[in-house]
């Protein structure tokens, strides 16, 4: 058998140098490679395996491969054991900077109005913690009395700078505020719908028994109840929320109509209650919205209030109050108005209900605007729409 020709001496030296530089294989030593391409394999019964490629030594601290292929995608930067956290520059606070101020806030001493104070603290003081704010509660008039005179006294104190702010449900704020006062902000609106509280499980006013007694304390609710169920006996309900709920618990009435926003703010959950759809029972204008009355020349306070107000609640309140003013602006008028939309890019919708609480005649209208329309312009269009349907005969009831 013929033997392979021996390689040149220089080639053998180079091969020996490479063999010394390569690290030895742990299990089986790698054979020295043949440098000549023309060399024929040595006589043997089996072919010798070619040497496996040897990976370069990994740098200290590099992650080891786990068999998932991550060793082929490079090395990730790793923090050394002695390194501390990198101190990034913190972002500077954004938004306007206001000077600290001292303010006095008041509202009525009722369970519901006291929730307005808590809401004011959570919204206003969370943004203006540097302000010194004091709270004072005014005694509410006796049961069944008109709170308007007491409200006018409080507004006079704000004009005289004895007080700075009054928290009140916007539906109870008179349209003709004294000169020098304004609604500085409207906080986020609670669900404006009415809720039906019953003694048993009923899903709507239409499901109540024949000639059942239902308590309601506004002309707007009476008007729409009689339009839905002329056979029901509507009785008045006076007092705060707890006294009205007792009417149902004691069995004096079969059902009671309340604002759902009041129940939610007071965290009350009667045994049987259901919210009524706004298209069947249109809420009162600005129901569920809390406003802040202040002086219109206090620019610093107005800037702070506009910074924390809810734009959606402010827009809807302006629209509903504008429509109410078009209809005469009478307190307690049988008028329902609800401005709403689903999203910020959706058009504004104003639902209207006017009628006669004695006969139960109700006229409803829906006006659709745009996503950027002004609240007063939408109220003007809705007013023209209800006049075209014959609503003028209901304006002075």
Strands, E assignment, the chain: 102-108, 132-138, 165-169, 181-186, 194-198, 213-215, 233-235, 255-259, 273-275, 290-295, 335-340, 349-356, 361-368
Average pLDDT over every residue of 17-26? 52
CATH number of the structural domain spanning residue 326: 3.30.160.40
CATH number of the structural domain spanning residue 151: 3.40.190.10
Residues 335 and 384 occupy one common structural domain: yes
- Give whole-number Cα distances, 372 to 134, 323, 345, 351, in Å: 38, 18, 9, 18
Average pLDDT of the chain is: 83
Residues 180 and 107 occupy one common structural domain: yes
Residues 106 and 238 occupy one common structural domain: no
Q: How far apart are the first and last CA of the chain?
A: 127
**75 pLDDT above the threshold of 70:** no
- Please report whether residue 373 resides in a domain: yes
At residue 72, the pLDDT reads: 46
At residue 365, the pLDDT reads: 96
Long-range (24+ apart) CB contacts under 8 A made by 34-39 are 34/7, 35/7, 35/11, 36/5, 36/7, 36/11, 38/5, 39/4, 39/5, 39/7
Residues 302 and 322 occupy one common structural domain: no
Query: Tokens at residue 361, please?
Result: 């005649």
Residues 176 and 218 occupy one common structural domain: no
307 within 8 A of 127, measured Cβ to Cβ:
yes
**39 pLDDT above the threshold of 50:** no
The one-character DSSP state at 65 is P
Q: What would you report as the CA-atom Rg of the chain, rounded to the nearest whole angstrom? A: 40
Residues 223 and 341 occupy one common structural domain: no
- Please report whether residue 139 resides in a domain: yes
Of 379, 395, 385, 367, give the one whose Cα is nearest residue 318: 379
Residues 302 and 238 occupy one common structural domain: no
> In 10 A of CB 139, how many CB atoms?
9
The one-character DSSP state at 81 is T
At residue 35, the pLDDT reads: 44
Instruction: Name the pLDDT band for 96 (thresholds 50, 70, 90).
Output: confident
Residues 130 and 254 occupy one common structural domain: no
Residues 6+ positions from 5 with CB-CB distance below 8 Å: 36, 38, 39
275 within 8 A of 194, measured Cβ to Cβ:
yes
Instruction: Name the pLDDT band for 79 (thresholds 50, 70, 90).
Output: low
- Please report whether residue 93 resides in a domain: no
Domain count, the chain: 3
At residue 121, the pLDDT reads: 95
Residues 293 and 267 occupy one common structural domain: no
**61 pLDDT above the threshold of 90:** no
**8 pLDDT above the threshold of 70:** no
Average pLDDT over every residue of 326-343? 90
List phi, psi (to 5°) of 139.
-70, 130
Residues 318 and 393 occupy one common structural domain: yes
At residue 331, the pLDDT reads: 75
Distance separating alpha carbons of residues 259 and 13, to the nearest angstrom: 99
Average pLDDT over every residue of 45-66? 52
Say what the pTM is. 0.75
- Please report whether residue 73 resides in a domain: no
- Please report whether residue 4 resides in a domain: no
At residue 58, the pLDDT reads: 54
- Please report whether residue 150 resides in a domain: yes
Domain ranges, residue 363: 311-397
Please state the length of the chain.
Answer: 397
- Give whole-number Cα distances, 93 to 90, 127, 132, 240, in Å: 9, 12, 22, 44
Residues 318 and 295 occupy one common structural domain: no
Tens digit of pLDDT for each residue in 362-384?
A: 999 999 999 999 999 999 999 99
* Beta-strand pair 290-295/233-235: unpaired
- Please report whether residue 48 resides in a domain: no
At residue 140, the pLDDT reads: 83
Buried/exposed 270-295: b ≥16 CB within 10 Å, e otherwise: beebbebebebbbbbbbbbbbbbbbb
Tens digit of pLDDT for each residue in 138-189?
A: 988 776 667 888 899 999 999 999 999 999 999 999 999 999 999 999 999 9
Residues 351 and 380 occupy one common structural domain: yes
- Please report whether residue 44 resides in a domain: no
């Amino acid at each position: 058998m013929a033997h392979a020709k021996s390689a040149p001496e220089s080639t053998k030296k180079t091969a020996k140098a490479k063999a010394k530089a390569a690290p030895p294989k742990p299990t089986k030593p790698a054979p020295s490679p043949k440098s000549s391409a023309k060399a024929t394999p040595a006589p043997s019964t089996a072919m010798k395996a070619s040497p496996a490629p040897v990976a370069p030594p990994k740098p200290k601290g590099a992650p080891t491969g786990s068999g998932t292929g991550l060793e082929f995608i490079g090395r990730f930067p790793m923090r050394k054991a002695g390194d501390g956290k990198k101190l990034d520059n913190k972002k500077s606070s954004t938004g306007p900077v206001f000077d600290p101020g001292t303010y006095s806030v008041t509202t009525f001493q009722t369970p519901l109005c006291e929730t307005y104070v808590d809401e004011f603290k959570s919204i206003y003081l969370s943004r203006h913690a540097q302000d010194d704010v004091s709270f004072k509660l005014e005694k509410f008039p006796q049961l069944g009395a008109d709170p308007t005179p007491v409200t006018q006294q409080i507004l006079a104190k704000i004009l005289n700078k004895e007080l700075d702010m009054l928290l009140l449900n916007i539906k109870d704020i008179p349209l003709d505020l004294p000169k020098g006062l304004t609604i500085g902000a409207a906080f986020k609106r609670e669900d404006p719908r009415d809720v039906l509280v019953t003694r048993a499980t009923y899903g709507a006013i239409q499901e109540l028994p024949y000639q059942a007694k239902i308590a309601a304390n506004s002309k707007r609710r009476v008007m729409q109840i009689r339009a839905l169920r002329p056979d029901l006996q509507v009785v008045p309900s006076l007092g705060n929320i707890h006294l009205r709920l007792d009417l149902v618990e004691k069995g004096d009435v079969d059902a009671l109509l309340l604002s759902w926003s009041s129940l939610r703010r007071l965290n009350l959950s009667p045994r049987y209650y259901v919210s009524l759809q706004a298209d069947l029972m249109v809420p009162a204008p600005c129901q569920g919205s809390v406003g802040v009355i202040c002086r219109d020349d206090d620019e610093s306070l107005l800037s702070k209030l506009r910074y924390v107000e809810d734009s959606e609640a402010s827009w809807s309140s302006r629209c509903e109050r504008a429509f109410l003013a078009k209809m005469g602006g009478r307190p307690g008028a049988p008028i329902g108005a609800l401005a709403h939309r689903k999203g910020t890019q959706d058009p504004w919708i104003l639902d209207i209900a006017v009628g006669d609480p004695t006969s139960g005649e109700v006229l409803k209208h829906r006006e659709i605007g745009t996503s950027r329309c002004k609240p007063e312009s939408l109220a003007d269009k809705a007013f023209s729409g209800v006049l075209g349907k014959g609503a003028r005969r209901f304006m002075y009831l």
